Amino acid sequence: MIRSTRRERGALVDALGVAARATPLTLAALVVLTVVAAVLPVAVAWCTKVLLDRVAAGTASWPELAGAVAGLLTAGLAGGVQPHLTQYLRAELDRRASLAAQDRLYAAVNRFHGLARFEDPAFLDRLRIAQFNGINAPAELTNTALGLTSTFVTLGGFFGSLLVISPVMAWIVLLGGVPTLLGEMRLARARVGITLDTSQAQRREMFFASLLADVQAAKEVRLFNLGDHFRRLMLRERLDINRLNRRMDRRTVLTQGGLALLAAGVAAGGLLWAVKAALDGRLGVGDIVVFLAAITAVQSSVGGLAAGVAFGRQHLLIFRHYRAVTAAGPDLPDGEPDTAMPPLRRGIELRNVWFRYSDEHPWVLRGVSLTIPYGQSLALVGVNGAGKSTLAKLLCRFYDPTRGAILWDGVDLRAVPVAALRERVSAVFQDFMTFDLTARENIALGDLANGADPAAIERAAERAGIGAQLAALPDGYETMLTRSFAGDSDSGGALGVPLSGGQWQRVALARALLRRGRDFILLDEPSSGLDPEAEYRMHEELLTHRSGGTSLLISHRLGMVRTADVIVVLEDGVVVEQGTHRDLLATGGVYARAFNRQASGYVAEIGSAR
């Protein structure tokens, strides 16, 4: 319990610190306005009491009433301006604090070097809460803290007023609000529980909704008539979410309804006492006004205090998930920042590498040992699921081996900074990204340090076999390669131009080729979406690019790999064959059978054509 309280206190200080650092002057102004707003009701009540008491006495002169009237006028003016100014400043606080929180969250996410956390459902649930709720929590908690400050000041002023009139009634009214406070805090804890319970369902709902509206899925959704199916799945998740929320709403109504009846009973008792005291001559007209205002304000303040504490606790618990993401330690061990990454001179060695994604998963790689010699090309072949792409991910350090080591000129990759390694590596992945940006930007992302050089971008595009096609687009390299963010054709705006799968693959290759001078290039199925002519040109270009460089090529098209210096065959995560194309054909093993099977199809077609 104590540890939980300390965590919540630390989270609150952190959240308030985010807002204070984001906009200190705005926060200071809000504090002043909050205190003014809290004092105004008490000041109005007492000015009214003085005014009524003197008028009721029948002996008051204008000079005696001037102070009370001036106080009421001043309070009225302040009360008229304060809400609008507060609303403006709170909006500014929300904008700046949310921006700071968003930047902090994604800066933390960007520090995750590997992929494991992005494949962990528990982490993804926490990240979703941080993205959609936690980013707003610093502003919400700051506003709640300001609201509670205002409530405390108002409560203190009116509670003091009640103490002056009737100490007994003051304590009865105050203690009558304790059940409300406790009830609201229990509701807040339950609401956070609902947020956690519905997190996975909300992610699934968003997934099914995206399939219904995403251009990438549109073809298959319509061809296979999947729209109604995914819509039903989406609605099923929403119905499950609504069921849990409805249960929470019922609990809220019953709890708050019972607490409201209790508060009404206390107020009615106070009203009866005030009427009797007035009839007995113990209270004057002004006293009754102050008493009625005070009893209403105290009850309202206690209720507001309970709601504010509950609301704040709810956002505090949510913010703890945000903090858990932003404070998460490294997902992969990183070398010392000043550790130099030497240029590759001898080669890359995988030494008895075993890997599985978790203890519950089967082994993907089992005792893989191989060397990619410096200045040579190694091709990796095997059936789907053999572990080829996993091995590529290990070489880029998206994961670390479960056992064994990967050595760069004899240095374990875990001993050098991840960023330093990736500065020396370029890659084209099988599941390459298609960025909704211009053609120039899509290629420039491969090397932001040199991406501003138009000539380098165009050279990379030419070498990837896509330069002429990009230059022929309506705005050349400045053409958006998407219709998601381009101008509306109805309003005369320029439409983006979507590319084919093969064209996108060549853009991805151009992005990798822009990173010239890298020690190691990794090509995972770089020609899977290309037509034969484009594949041939890419093959020739890659031969030129790989000449003298160190590279790893993964491909099912064995014609692409036959020129590699070394070919390695993976089967069920184990190296079963290794050698040159000629050597492996001579052995008549797995590679030879696969190569002959592919070649026989082409030979048969040529023979039948004759």
More confident position, 268 or 324: 324
Radius of gyration of the chain (CA): 35
Percentage of the chain modeled with pLDDT above 70? 86
Across 6-10, 51-55, 85-89, the highest mean pLDDT is recorded for 85-89
Check pLDDT > 60 for residue 609: no
Q: Decide: helix, strand or coil at residue 496.
A: coil
Tokens at 130, concatenated? 């941080």
Strands 425-428 and 377-381: unpaired
Measured between alpha carbons, how far is residue 409 from residues 161, 350, 353, 391, 519 in Å?
81, 11, 16, 18, 12
**Which of 297, 23, 25, 315 minimizes the C-alpha distance to 150?**
297
- Which DSSP category does 518 fall into? -
Nearest 5°: CA angle at 517, between 514 and 519?
115
Across 21-35, 336-350, 449-463, 544-558, the highest mean pLDDT is recorded for 21-35
Q: How many residues does the structure list for the chain?
A: 610
Which pTM was predicted? 0.76
**Predicted pLDDT at 2:** 45
Q: Which domains does the chain have, with CATH numbers?
A: 2-166+261-326 (1.20.1560.10), 347-424+518-609 (3.40.50.300), 435-501 (no CATH)
| Contact indicator for 354, 366 with CB cutoff of 8 Å | yes
Check pLDDT > 60 for residue 604: no
Check pLDDT > 90 for residue 39: no
**Predicted pLDDT at 97:** 95
> What are the pLDDT digits (tens) for 527-556?
766 666 666 666 666 666 655 679 999 988
**Predicted pLDDT at 477:** 94
Placement of tokens 């529980």 in the chain = 193
**Predicted pLDDT at 269:** 76
**Which of 389, 398, 426 minimizes the C-alpha distance to 113?**
398
Exposed, middle or buried, 474 (CB in 10 Å: 0-12/13-18/19+)?
exposed
**Predicted pLDDT at 492:** 46
Range with lowest mean pLDDT among 249-253, 303-307, 489-493, 503-507 = 489-493
**Predicted pLDDT at 490:** 47
Tokens at 218, concatenated? 């549109």
**Predicted pLDDT at 162:** 74
CA-CA distance, 401 to 381, in Å (whole number)?
20
In SS3 terms, 362-419 reads as CCCEEEEEEEEECCCEEEEECCCCCCHHHHHHHHCCCCCCCEEEEEECCEEHHHCCHH
Region 56-74 average pLDDT: 65
Q: How confident is the model at residue 347 (pLDDT cuts 50, 70, 90)?
A: very high
Region 297-320 average pLDDT: 79
More confident position, 5 or 100: 100
Region 327-333 average pLDDT: 88
Placement of tokens 């992302």 in the chain = 445
More confident position, 600 or 607: 600
Region 412-420 average pLDDT: 90
Range with lowest mean pLDDT among 342-351, 391-400, 525-534, 569-578 = 525-534
Check pLDDT > 50 for residue 27: yes
Torsion of CA 317, 321, 324, 327, to 10 degrees: -90
**Predicted pLDDT at 606:** 46
Exposed, middle or buried, 109 (CB in 10 Å: 0-12/13-18/19+)?
middle
> What are the pLDDT digits (tens) for 206-226?
889 988 887 777 878 887 788
**Predicted pLDDT at 57:** 58
> What are the pLDDT digits (tens) for 587-598?
999 999 988 888
**Predicted pLDDT at 62:** 62
Q: How confident is the model at residue 489 (pLDDT cuts 50, 70, 90)?
A: very low
More confident position, 547 or 24: 24
**Predicted pLDDT at 242:** 93
| Contact indicator for 39, 153 with CB cutoff of 8 Å | yes
Tokens at 70, concatenated? 């001036």
In SS3 terms, 534-565 reads as HHHHHHHHHHHHHCCCEEEEECCCHHHHCCCC
**Predicted pLDDT at 520:** 93
Specify whether the backbone of 488 is left (phi greater than 0), alpha (psi in -120 to 50) or beta. Answer: beta
Check pLDDT > 70 for residue 486: no
Helix (H) or strand (E) holding 359: none
Tokens at 171, concatenated? 């304590």
Check pLDDT > 50 for residue 418: yes
**Predicted pLDDT at 67:** 65
**Mean pLDDT score across all residues of the chain:** 83
Q: How confident is the model at residue 610 (pLDDT cuts 50, 70, 90)?
A: very low
**Which of 513, 396, 343, 384 minimizes the C-alpha distance to 445?**
513
Q: What is the DSSP string of 19-70?
A: HHHH-HHHHHHHHHHHHHHHHHHHHHHHHHHHHHHHHHHT---HHHHHHHHH
**Predicted pLDDT at 50:** 65
More confident position, 155 or 57: 155
CA-CA distance, 485 to 500, in Å (whole number)?
18
Nearest 5°: CA angle at 14, between 13 and 20?
85
**Predicted pLDDT at 371:** 94
**Predicted pLDDT at 487:** 54
For 499, other C-beta atoms within 10 Å of its C-beta total 21
More confident position, 434 or 67: 434
